Amino acid sequence: MASAEDVKELRKRTGSGIMDIRQALDEAGGDPDQAVEILRVKGQAQAAKRGGKTASEGVIASYVHAGGQIGVLVEVNSETDFVARSDEFQEFAREVALHVAASAPLYISEDDIPEEDREREMRILREQAAGEGKPEDVQQRIAEGCMKKWLEDVVLLNQKHVNEEKHETKTIEELRAALSATTGENIVVRRAVRFQVGEED
Amino acid sequence: MASAEDVKELRKRTGSGIMDIRQALDEAGGDPDQAVEILRVKGQAQAAKRGGKTASEGVIASYVHAGGQIGVLVEVNSETDFVARSDEFQEFAREVALHVAASAPLYISEDDIPEEDREREMRILREQAAGEGKPEDVQQRIAEGCMKKWLEDVVLLNQKHVNEEKHETKTIEELRAALSATTGENIVVRRAVRFQVGEED
């Protein structure tokens, strides 16, 4: 029996009717991907198209560095269209895009760091500290201090905005929290991508 | 013994000295990732930073749809900076960005389609054709015709530019080839990303 969750998900993915989806899921033994194929074979689903589903409000902002050698695209979400269209929200999105162009963060938030990346970094920092001939507890403190520094370096929300004069050395997270307080809405820096001409993938 | 290829690759990734790299590769039994760790532990490598390496010339262009609900970033490469800075090249990059915003292609070129995606599509089209009660050779022709149509729909270079009036229903590939002929350089649409507010990942 198809779960309500699966049906809802497939309805979003295919635009098909609920009875068709239930039947396809049954035929597919509950496998959603196979159910999509069945729906498409029967002509009951649209070809999967990218995008379109709106989960929340917000804005896409871009920043291309003079000369077009670096470009950034960011999405910032709010809860309502009203806030998304406000000047202060749009300004925040632009400032984040500009910051990403200058600072090239690797992750949006600490939660986005794959466990593997974090462990590799900690292992390297521990071994670096071990090479300095200090007692073990000191080594541990050194490694932890370096880890904190690394998180400030590579995580967007932990970074101080590059325009330190304008933003009084506030971090992106502090600017986000301030905007959230002013607007009374949850504000989310959802994703960012940065292209630099000729860089390796 | 470390291969010249590996040494060159690690030199790009770490900025370390060649002798240090050779030694690290030996210690790592030839594993490049482990060699990077060894170099970093020894302080002989910079922390891995995103980007920076310039493989070719070109430009990053962005296009954000009025209202900021859709945004696109594209990289187009040329062989020389001279061509990259020319008006016609910059215009081409802008036109590609605008087109991607409107058409949401899934792939840049046919070569970028994972074999798995292509096989899944062909399987679906064959089964759709089989449902129509036609002879088998006709079924095959129908499926092939639909495949061709699919490739025109989802592959950027195969798509007709959305501004059909201005570009006389030319495909992006035709526009690219024309620019390549005018400039006498290889022109490559290297990558594109499209964000739409609230869409699912």
Among B171, B67, B65, B60, CA closest to B110 = B171
Q: Considering chain A, what is the average pLDDT of its residues?
A: 86
Q: Does A87 touch chain B (CB under 8 A)?
A: no
In this predicted structure, what is the pLDDT of residue B201?
62
Instruction: Output the pTM of the full model.
Output: 0.73
> How large a percentage of chain A has pLDDT more than 70?
92
- Of A174 and B198, the one with more pLDDT: A174
Q: Evaluate if residue A33 carries a pLDDT over 80.
A: yes
pLDDT for res B131: 80
Query: Region B170-194: what's the mean pLDDT?
Result: 93
pLDDT over 90 (residue A7): no
> Is there a contact between B59 and A69 if contact means CB atoms under 8 Å apart?
yes
Task: Check whether A55 has a pLDDT greater than 50.
Answer: no
Tell me: the pLDDT tens digits for B167-177?
888 999 999 99
Confidence of residue A201 (pLDDT cuts 50, 70, 90): low
CB atoms within 10 A of CB B67: 12
Asked whether residue A138 carries a pLDDT value surpassing 50, the answer given is: yes
Contact B160, B171 (CB under 8 A): yes
**Closest chain B residue to the Cα of A90, Cα to Cα:** B68
DSSP string for A54-97: --SEEEEEEEE-TTSSEEEEEEEEESSHHHHTSHHHHHHHHHHH
Q: What is the pLDDT of residue B50?
A: 36
In chain B, % helix, strand, coil (3-state, to 5) comes to 55, 15, 30
CB contact (8 A) between residue A43 and residue B128: yes
Mean pLDDT lowest among A120-124, A158-162, B55-59, B160-164 = B55-59
The whole-angstrom separation of Cα B85 and Cα B183 is: 12
Task: Tell me the Ramachandran region of residue A168: left when phi exceeds 0, alpha when psi lies from -120 to 50, beta otherwise.
Answer: left
Among A158, A133, A130, A129, which Cα is nearest to A145's? A129
Instruction: List all residues of chain A from 154 to 183 with a beta carbon under 8 Å from chain B.
Output: none
What ipTM was estimated for this complex?
A: 0.73
Tokens of A95: 């400032």
Contacts of B17 (CB under 8 A, 6+ apart): B44
The owner of tokens 């993938």 is: A201
What pLDDT does A1 receive? 57
Are A193 and A156 a contacting pair, CB within 8 Å?
A: no
Q: What is the pLDDT of residue A50?
A: 36
Mean pLDDT for the stretch of residues A150-173: 92
Asked if residue A54 has pLDDT above 50, the reply is no
What gap in Å lies between CA A25 and CA A2, rounded to an integer?
Answer: 6
Q: Which residues of A touch B93 (CB under 8 A)?
A: 68
Residue B52 is predicted with a pLDDT of 35
Print burial letters for A87-109: b (CB count within 10 Å at least 16), e (below 16). eebeebbbbbbbbbbebbbbbbe
Other beta carbons within 10 Å of A52: 12
Identity of the residue in B53, B73, B197 whose CB atom sits nearest the CB atom of A199:
B53
Interface test with A, best of B14, B60, B139 (most A CBs within 10 A): B60
| Span B4-16, average pLDDT | 77
Among the partner residues A65, A73, A93, nearest to B193 by beta-carbon distance: A73
pLDDT in tens, B79-135: 999 999 999 999 999 999 999 999 999 999 999 999 999 999 998 888 888 887 888
Give the model's confidence band at A99: pLDDT under 50 very low, under 70 low, under 90 confident, else very high. Answer: very high
The more confident residue out of B147 and A46 is B147
Q: Which residue in chain A has the smallest CA separation from B101?
A: A51
- For A57, the token pair is 């409000």
CB B194 within 8 A of CB A51: yes
Residue B139 is encoded by which pair of tokens?
């079924």
Q: Calculate mean pLDDT across residues B6-28.
A: 81
Distance between A79 CA and the closest CA of chain B, angstroms = 11
> Which residues does chain B have within 8 Å of residue A131's beta carbon, measured at their own beta carbons?
41-42
Encode pLDDT of B25-75 as tens digits.
Answer: 888 888 888 888 887 777 655 544 433 333 489 999 999 986 899 999 999
At A6, the pLDDT band (50, 70, 90 cuts) reads: confident
Predicted pLDDT of residue B86: 95
pLDDT tens digits, one per residue of B123-136: 888 888 888 788 88
Q: What is the pLDDT of residue A171?
A: 94
- Looking at residue A39, its pLDDT comes to 79
| Best CA proximity match to B83, nearest among B96, B72, B98, B93 | B93
d(CA B61, CA B94): 6
Contact between A182 and B43 (Cβ < 8 Å): no
